[in-house]
Amino acid sequence: MSKSMRIAFLFLVLLYLLSLSYLEDFLWLLKILPIALLMFGVLKTGSSSTRSILLLALVFSSCGDLLLAFDKFIFGVAAFLVAQLSYAVLFKPFWKNFQHRWYLSVLLITHVLVMLWLLFPSLGNLKLPVMTYLMAIAAMGFMAIQSSLPIRWSVLGAILFITSDSLIAINKFYYPLAYESYWIMSTYYAAQFMLVTGFIHTEIKAKNINTELNREL
C-alpha cells in the first residue's frame, strides 16, 4: 500500500483509540473504518485469487467487529472464524514443513494449552464455540509459522492476531484487564495491517519475478 494509505490507516486507528473514552454512539463506525480502508487498499491493487480471499477475511472481520460491538458474541466469533480460516488458506501455498521454526510452534502449542487451562472452567455453554475458534486461530498460526514467508509482516501479523484474541478471551472469561480495549484493538489493527501488507507485497514480488523471467525467455 502507498505511504498515504498507511498514514490514513494510522490516523483512523488513533482516532478510534482516542475516541474510546469519549464516544459511545458512533464507536461501532469508527471501529470498522481502518478495516474498510484496508479493503479499499486491496481492491486498489487489482484482482487475483489471493486478493479475493484477503477481501473475504477483511469483510468477515468487519462483520465480527460490528457483531461484537453490539454484544452479539457468538455471531462475532463465527464471523472471525471465517476470517481465520481465510487467512489459513492464504498461508497454505507457502507451507514448508513441521520442522520449520519449530521453536515458535512449541511456543504456540504451549500458549494454546495454557489458554485452555485458564478458560475452560469459565466457559459454561460457550465451551464448543470458543474451543472451535481457538483451534481455528491456532491452525492459522501454525500455517503462518511453518510457512516460507519471512516473519516480518504476514507471520508477525498472525502472531499479533492470536495475541489480540487471547487478550479478549482472558478479559472476558478469566480476569478483567486494565485498559483492555486499547491493548486488544492496538494488536488487532496491527495484525490486520501486517497480514494484508505482507500478502500484497508477496504477490507483487512474485509477479515481478515472473515478469523478469518472461522477459529473459
The predicted-structure confidence for 89-130, as pLDDT tens digits, reads as follows 999 999 888 778 889 999 999 999 999 999 999 999 999 999
Contacts of 11 (CB under 8 A, 6+ apart): none
pLDDT of residue 2: 81
Rounded to whole angstroms, how far apart are CA atoms 209 and 155?
A: 22
Residue 49: its pLDDT value, please?
A: 79
Q: Provide the grid cell at 183.
A: 491493548
Residue 6 has pLDDT above 70, yes or no: yes
Residue-wise over 119-142: b if at least 16 C-beta within 10 A, else e? beeebeebeebbeebbebbbebbb
170 pLDDT more than 90: yes
The confidence score (pLDDT) of residue 58 equals 98
Range from 88-92, 121-125, 173-177, 206-210 carrying the lowest mean pLDDT: 206-210
Q: How many domains does the chain have?
A: 1
pLDDT of residue 98: 76
- Report if pTM > 0.85: yes
Q: How far apart are CA 204 and CA 206, in angstroms?
A: 5
Residue 179 Ramachandran class (φ > 0 left, ψ -120 to 50 alpha, else beta) = left
Q: What is the pLDDT of residues 127-162, one digit of tens each?
A: 999 999 999 999 999 999 999 888 888 899 999 999
SS3 146: coil
Residue with cell 495491517: 193
Q: The domain containing residue 196 runs over which residues?
A: 3-216
pLDDT digits (tens, 9 = 90+) for 27-79: 999 999 999 999 999 998 766 878 899 999 999 999 999 999 999 999 999 99
Least-confidence region, from 28-32, 163-167, 203-207: 203-207
Confidence (pLDDT) at 128: 95
Label residue 124 left, alpha or beta by phi (over 0 means left) and psi (-120 to 50 means alpha): left
For residue 1, which of 185, 204, 161, 159 has the smallest C-alpha distance?
Answer: 204
Asked if residues 187 and 156 have their Cβ atoms less than 8 Å apart, the reply is no
Task: Report the C-alpha gap between 188 and 204 in whole angstroms.
Answer: 24
Predicted confidence at residue 57, as pLDDT, reads 97
Of the pLDDT bands very low, low, confident and very high (cuts 50, 70, 90), residue 214 is low
- pLDDT above 70: residue 212: no
